Amino acid sequence: MKHNFRIITTKGLISVLIFITTIHVSFAQGYIGETIEYDGLTREYSIYVPESYDGTTSIPLLFNFHGGGGNIAFHIAIADMSPIADTANFIVVYPQARPDPSDGNSFNWIPKVPGTFDDVPF
């Protein structure tokens, strides 16, 4: 069991490092829609970069997850962190979960019967 956790953690850390490298190389302020290839799937996320960020220093990164049946756009509409990110100087990532075909409309990071893909490491 520890071995599986270590693999998931390693994959997750690699994804975060790739993601952070992308931010550092091509930063821009405001909301940015992005995709990343992970585990053979094209994954979507939106990122909010504070207006004051100039790419020369490290700042905190916050992941903001939508609920089951939700999506990025709706979650930003009801839980927009950009005003706080601008004043507290942090980057916000809104990942899009993949729909879980086994139960209709929820997403795979909601604990339940295992699906065919894993949103947690993404």
15-43 tens-digit pLDDT: 555 555 444 434 557 888 888 888 888 88
Strands of the sheet containing 41-49, edge to edge, are 30-38, 41-49, 91-95, 61-63
The domain limits of the chain are: 2-95
- For the stretch 36-86, pLDDT in tens is 888 888 888 899 999 888 889 899 998 888 777 778 888 888 888 899 999
Strand 61-63 to 91-95 pairing = parallel
Record the pTM. Answer: 0.63
Of 1, 4, 81, residue with least CA distance to 46: 81
The tens digit of pLDDT for each residue in 93-117 reads 988 877 666 665 555 555 555 556 5
Q: Which of 3.40.50.620, 3.40.50.2000, 3.40.190.10, 3.40.50.1820 is the CATH number of 2-95?
A: 3.40.50.1820
